Structure 1
Amino acid sequence: MIKLLKYAQRAVYSLLFFTVLLTGSSFRKVYGQEKLNVALAGLSHDHVNLIMNDYSKGLVHIIGIAESNKDLIEKFKKRAKLPDSIFYNTLDDLLKHKKPDAVLAFNAIEDHLSVVETAAPYHVSVMVEKPLAVSVKHAERMIQLAKQYNIHLLTNYETTWYASNQELYQKIKKDQSIGHIRKMVAHDGHKGPKEIGVSKEFLAWLTDPVKNGGGAVIDFGCYGANLMTWMMDGKAPLSVTAVLKQIKKDVYPKVDDDATILLEYPDATGIIEASWNWPFNIKDFEVFGQTGYLQAVDPGNVRSREHNRDTYQTTQPAALAPSASGYLGYLSAVLKGQINPANDLSSTENNLIVVKILEAAKESAKKGQKVYLK
């Protein structure tokens, strides 16, 4: 009887052990299936380091990379231990052999159009790094292709995933805690791309007026335009007035390195301060309402003051859901139909207006006058 009990006990333990192994294997399989299979168009944008970090952590599958620069290929093969088999000379060749969930563009802004022109006929969605395009003409063509082939076209901004910015939107638009918006101010920039040591491949096109569309006005002006368009419910400003300066002409001889952009709305004003001349890195956003003030100081801090208080209060917003806290989670949710991106910070609706604002800012600075948006 004792032997029989011991045998039964061993059998139960064996069954439990097998079940744990099977269950663990199943969870790994399910988790693995939830990872995105992405292709990269280009490696010259330094933001590519973010997805390489995610790849190294096992958070995403990179199944193809379109890049012709041999130095960049060797650099990332070594750094991320990428196999030779995933590299292709062109995006078209890549998409003939692989079917990614989406293409992520890490190339010059001027080349965003060609990425969409290539990916759309394959019915593959595209996410580009900010801003959407170098011109309104390019942006409109990209959006037309996205609609024609029924794909998603998204724009990735670092500030989209700031819990502080999401907290401001909640308090202002949903809770209506400071009344109607009267003034918005965005400060974005750093000491300068050369000064902070970006890669030579990135610097080459970032300081090219054709490849990048401009200097600081494009690189950092887009952040404020994106957030302000969001806060104004997707409405474009009535007019744009801008001053662009070349403070460091010897360093950036071809493009502006400082931009101040004034956006005029029917009942509010937006001020975008974008620069490669800040004494430190900065991405903050201030909103003044009828009855209060809110500032997204950095990703994790919100500063506020009510009209009847003499002091400011600083709080930490709650952590965001995975679909709102990073580009991979958001992209996955959009592709699965869990999120409708219309009028979101990453949407074509918002980002077409962003490109219109930036194009008008360049025109305003060139002509020395206010430019009215059509």
Structure 2
Amino acid sequence: MSAVQILSAIVIGLASDHAWSMAAGLLSTGKVTVAAVVDDGDHLRARACDTFGPVPAYRCLAQVPDDARFDVALVCSDNRAKAEVVPWCVARGSHVYMDKPLAATGTGAQAVAEAVARSADAGTRVMVAFHTVFDGVHDEARQLVADGALGRVYLARGVAGHGGLREGGVSDDFVDWLVDPARGGGGTFIDQACYLLDTFMDQLGDTIVEVDGTAVNLGERDYLPASVEDVSLATLRFAGGAVGVVDTKWHQVGPSPLRLSYHGTGGTLIDVGGRWELHTAAGVVPPLDWQRTTERDGVVSYTRATPPKDGYAGEAGYFVDRVLSGEPFHPALTVSAALRVQRVIDAFYASVRTGTRVAVAG
């Protein structure tokens, strides 16, 4: 039996709470060891050494030795910094596992995409962790749309929210940059809508070409600058003619799962939080895990429980396995998909600033 290949990892950015969970996911595979960390927070570097062992801990990328090489890099830096960090990683030959979104702005995201393209010949790849792709029904929903179970989709709706950053237990380090418009890129829209935008474009196989956005700060959070929204609403237009609606908020009372629905001329597909429903008049039969419930007036209804996710362990395991096998990442986890999402985010904030509907950059 061959020995398990152990990948060396550098963790860059510890102020995001996701960094600790994503790093734990990597370690849980038994195929990764943390070899170095980078963050300018003294207390965060100390915590990293307590968590991962006495690894080299650097304040900034400039302190990392020029000859240091790492098989993989976990990037959870603030959104603005990603435009510098990810190119640094791929230039050194590290495969990147990064938290969403790709950057704080479309310009930063373009810089990342160009750096990744330059490294492609060396086989260096980047996975942008849109966690919703690991919903066990993601690809089934995509296939149902492709098979015509909904007919022509004319409307996509998405909802996301939580009860607030500090109110939900987000660390002060994380809040500090999430509410800084320069470092975070915005408020609840860039934070939460990115999941829905990525899901929409992947499952519908279509691109968003126009956005009309509204952003509101309710003024009830003293830690939230007035320029950063905690409620957002966007209407979208897809290249294929469908329209979309997304709302997000950091003021959700009660349960707050991401929920979505697709409405077509031949059917409706709904994620109701823990369960999916398909109502179709198109004669398309879903996979066996979908249970037929009713048939009325030519419409057959099915339901499917959303299978439990493996959390960060499953997501990190997927990343590691794809790095070791050389298999491509899921299309919705690629830099090109994340760049499309970032351009929609840019158009949203441009629409908010101008009060007009804005075309998404091509």
Query: Which bracket does the TM-score occupy, shorter chain normalised?
Result: 0.7 to 0.9
Corresponding letter in the other structure for 1:328:
A
- Aligned partner of 1:99 in structure 2 is 69
Whether 1:42 and 2:44 are equivalent positions in the alignment is no
Corresponding letter in the other structure for 1:371:
V
Between the aligned residues of both structures, percent identity stands at 20
For residues 192 and 124 of structure 1, what CA distance do their matches in structure 2 show?
Answer: 35
Distance 1:249 1:232, change over 3 A: same
- Answer whether contact 2:29 2:313 (CA < 8 A) is retained: no
Whether 1:231 and 2:184 are equivalent positions in the alignment is no
- Answer whether contact 2:49 2:55 (CA < 8 A) is retained: no
Identify the match of residue 131 of structure 2 among 151, 158, 179.
Answer: 158
Report the structure, 1 or 2, having the larger helix content: 1
Q: Which runs of 4+ in 1 moved over 6 A?
A: none
Whether 1:341 and 2:341 are equivalent positions in the alignment is no
- Answer whether contact 2:36 2:56 (CA < 8 A) is retained: yes
Q: CA deviation at 1:292?
A: 1.4
Q: CA deviation at 1:119?
A: 1.5
Worse-superposed segment, 259-268 or 214-223: 259-268
- Answer whether contact 2:24 2:313 (CA < 8 A) is retained: no
Distance 1:246 1:153, change over 3 A: same
Q: Deviations over 1:115-144 (max 9, x none)?
A: 123223212222321111111111111111
Whether 1:74 and 2:46 are equivalent positions in the alignment is yes
Distance 1:162 1:36, change over 3 A: farther
| Runs of 5+ unmatched residues, structure 1 | 1-25
- Aligned partner of 1:170 in structure 2 is 143
Question: TM-score, normalised on structure 2?
Answer: 0.84
For residues 55 and 326 of structure 1, what CA distance do their matches in structure 2 show?
Answer: 9
For residues 116 and 65 of structure 2, what CA distance do their matches in structure 1 show?
Answer: 17
- Answer whether contact 1:297 1:303 (CA < 8 A) is retained: yes
If you compute each CA radius of gyration, which structure gives the higher value, 1 or 2?
Answer: 1
**Larger RCO of the pair (alpha carbons < 8 Å, separation 6+):** 2
Identify the match of residue 279 of structure 2 among 299, 305, 308.
Answer: 305
- Aligned partner of 1:148 in structure 2 is 118
Counting matched residue pairs gives: 337
Q: CA deviation at 1:246?
A: 0.6
Q: Deviations over 1:169-226 (max 9, x none)?
A: 12222x3322232211111120111210100000000011110000001101111111
- Aligned partner of 2:271 in structure 1 is 296
Q: CA deviation at 1:329?
A: 2.9
What is the correspondence of 1:357-372 to structure 2 with a 5 Å cutoff? Answer: 357-372=344-359
Whether 1:268 and 2:242 are equivalent positions in the alignment is yes
Whether 1:119 and 2:107 are equivalent positions in the alignment is no
